[in-house]
Structure 1
Amino acid sequence: MGVFDTIRQVLGLSAEADAAREADPEDLFGMSTAYLTMEADLDFAPTGDAALCFSNVDSTAFQRAREEVEAILAAGEAETGTTAEFVEDAHGYHWVVLHDTGFEDLVTSIHFAADTLVEEGFGSRLLAALFAFERDGQTAYWVYSFRRGSYYPFVPTGGRERDNKVEFKLESVLDGELSVEDDTTYWYPMWPEGDAHPWG
């Protein structure tokens, strides 16, 4: 079983039975204040990137839902300046990738995309939302697992390694402000390809 097969299993199918609580797209708004703490207390600044990961469904209804998400984000771009692109990674996962220097606009756009898929009956296809931060050349992510209904930190260092010390520091500072996953066995890595973000 490959790395991304494992992620699909734990963030998708198998984690459904272990879900701590039902995921709620409203949880994403927790990042609207958490990013201020990341910057003020930890010196991690937003990179201006966020992404929503989901698995595709070969159905007309899902295609319509996806087109609705695209339309909502395209309409929002004129108002907020948030740009969106839809990409498929090398492992077959689909991503809505958003870029904006205004972090709160990123959060709002990710919420719109996730909430639309939930309302259209495809909430089970949502895997994770990622918010990227950077400090001294090191990238850290807050990952929201839709299967667990909670956040966890992920700090890759290259070569399929992660900085657990920084992850635990992020957890200790943000726990209480975000609904952080208590069980660290569910802090699943979403490895980037090379030096890129996990979405490509």
Structure 2
Amino acid sequence: MGLLDILLGRTKPVAPDLDQLFALPSAAVTLQAAAGFTPTGTGAVCFATVEGAAFEQTHREVQALLDADTDRSGPPVELRRDDYGYSWLVSARSPEQLPELVNDLHAVNSAMEVNGFGPQLLCSLAAFTDDGGRKLALVYLYKRAAFYPFAPLPGSGERRDSALELQVKAALANDLRIEQDLSRWFPVWGAPGL
């Protein structure tokens, strides 16, 4: 970045850092101690829907890679489309298999990136719940290389628990790279596991 970029207020985009996903298991320990949330075993990668033979080949490769894991205790990996036109590749594990779930999410993101579909990647998430039935997702923004918490309010339609999100942000500040711009904490209504 040059002097002209600084003077004109231009910033260099953040490079995706998929290795940030590997911090989720240790963050889960902190999250349980601080707020009582435990992993559900569900995670997903969201991307803009892509059509064509190249994407279908990438999807088949990712599906075969993840389905080859014989240690999977949940249903097979599945592709879902949401009401907003995005696709979700969903992986289900037992709640104790968060490290394996993170490996799944990393593998999907990496395969998409390597095959030229990095620009279509939006986010990845891991779902959590507490004893009271509240749900929470730790969402990794691919293009920002940072996480944020998303907590939908149960039974309230499309409303979120902002106080809980800020509590989780403070609790995980030392465990995860947290997105500081709250306007980028996009709601992921209808995301798998929520």
Q: TM-score range by the shorter chain?
A: 0.7 to 0.9
- Counterpart of 1:142 in structure 2: which amino acid? L
Q: Does 1:188 align with 2:181?
A: no
In structure 2, what is the equivalent of residue 64 of structure 1?
Answer: 57
Larger Rg: 2
In structure 1, what is the equivalent of residue 5 of structure 2?
Answer: none
1:160 to 131, 134, 158: 158
- Counterpart of 2:17 in structure 1: which amino acid? D
**Residues 75 and 169 of structure 1, relative CA distance in 2, 3 Å threshold:** same
Deviations 1:71-93 (A, max 9, x none): 101112x1344531111122221
The answer to whether the 8 A contact 1:31-1:107 is kept is yes
SS in 1 for 2:78: strand
The answer to whether the 8 A contact 2:40-2:193 is kept is no
Compute the TM-score of the two structures, normalised by the length of structure 1.
0.83
Give aligned pairs, total: 179
- Equivalents in 2 of 1:150, 1:38: separation in Å? 17
The answer to whether the 8 A contact 1:191-1:198 is kept is no
- Counterpart of 1:182 in structure 2: which amino acid? Q
Counting only pairs closer than 5 Å after superposition, residues 65-144 of structure 1 correspond to structure 2 as: 65-76=58-69, 78-81=70-73, 83-101=76-94, 102-135=97-130, 136-144=132-140
| 1:199 CA displacement | 7.2
SS in 2 for 1:185: helix
1:46 to 39, 51, 59: 39
Deviations 1:44-79 (A, max 9, x none): 011111111111222221111111111101112x13
CA RMSD of aligned residues (A): 1.9
Compute the TM-score of the two structures, normalised by the length of structure 2.
0.85
The answer to whether the 8 A contact 1:129-1:144 is kept is yes
